[in-house]
């Protein structure tokens, strides 16, 4: 009878430990992967080298198209990546600030590419680019994002220089 009671008590302890494993696993991952390490192991590349300012008068609105964000997750857990703001600066002048809500889930040790939607320019912004008379512009693109995972939630930003072509009517 004593052996049966001991076996049942041991089984109860084992089930209680199993029920707590997700919490223990999360604590272990938090210890092994602090936010600083998570930032280092999530590689974000902003590429607008295939992007262009479309300024033709036949289009309903001028815009910036072709901006891509490449993500490389070197972490052992999946991440939900959300871009919440994009800024474009030309010659230290802030040309465009766009609030976005673009989300992507990156699998553990996986990659993803996000092609951003067309970013509309105002008439004043389009005229400013037209009046510069260049075929391409060197732009600094700032990207602000938020990451959510089972281990941590954090926000960060990145700034990259890109060469953006200007597609406009010739007079």
In this prediction, residues 97-110 reach a mean pLDDT of 93
Residue 113 and residue 70 in contact, taking contact as beta carbons nearer than 8 Å: yes
Q: Where are the alpha helices (DSSP H) in 55-158?
A: 123-132
Q: How far is CA 165 from CA 7, 53, 71, 94, 125, in A?
A: 74, 6, 24, 18, 15
pLDDT higher than 90, residue 44: yes
Please indicate, yes or no, whether residues 80 and 139 belong to a single structural domain of this protein: yes
In this prediction, residues 147-162 reach a mean pLDDT of 90
Please indicate, yes or no, whether residues 28 and 38 belong to a single structural domain of this protein: no
Please indicate, yes or no, whether residues 53 and 25 belong to a single structural domain of this protein: no
In the three-class reduction of DSSP (H, G, I as helix; E, B as strand; rest coil), residue 152 is classed as coil
Please indicate, yes or no, whether residues 108 and 148 belong to a single structural domain of this protein: yes
Please indicate, yes or no, whether residues 98 and 54 belong to a single structural domain of this protein: yes
What integer pLDDT is reported at residue 4 of this predicted model? 67
Number of structural domains (the chain) is 2
In this prediction, residues 20-29 reach a mean pLDDT of 68
Tokens of 73: 């997750």
pLDDT higher than 70, residue 115: yes
What integer pLDDT is reported at residue 110 of this predicted model? 92
pLDDT higher than 80, residue 53: yes
């Amino acid at each position: 009878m004593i052996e049966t009671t001991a076996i049942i008590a041991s089984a109860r302890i084992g089930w209680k430990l199993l029920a707590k494993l997700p919490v223990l696993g999360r604590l272990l991952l938090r210890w092994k992967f602090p936010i600083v390490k998570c930032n280092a192991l999530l590689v974000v590349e902003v590429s607008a080298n295939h992007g262009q300012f479309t300024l033709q008068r036949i289009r309903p609105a001028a815009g910036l198209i072709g901006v891509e964000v490449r993500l490389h997750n070197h972490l052992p857990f999946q991440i939900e990546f959300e871009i919440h703001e994009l800024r474009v600066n030309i010659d230290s002048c802030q040309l465009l600030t766009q609030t976005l809500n673009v989300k992507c889930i990156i699998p553990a040790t996986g990659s993803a590419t996000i092609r951003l939607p067309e970013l509309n320019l105002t008439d004043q912004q389009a005229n400013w680019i037209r009046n510069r008379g260049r075929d391409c512009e060197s732009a600094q693109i700032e990207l602000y994002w938020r990451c959510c995972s089972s281990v941590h939630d954090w926000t960060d930003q990145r700034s990259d220089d890109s060469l953006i072509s200007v597609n406009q009517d010739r007079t």
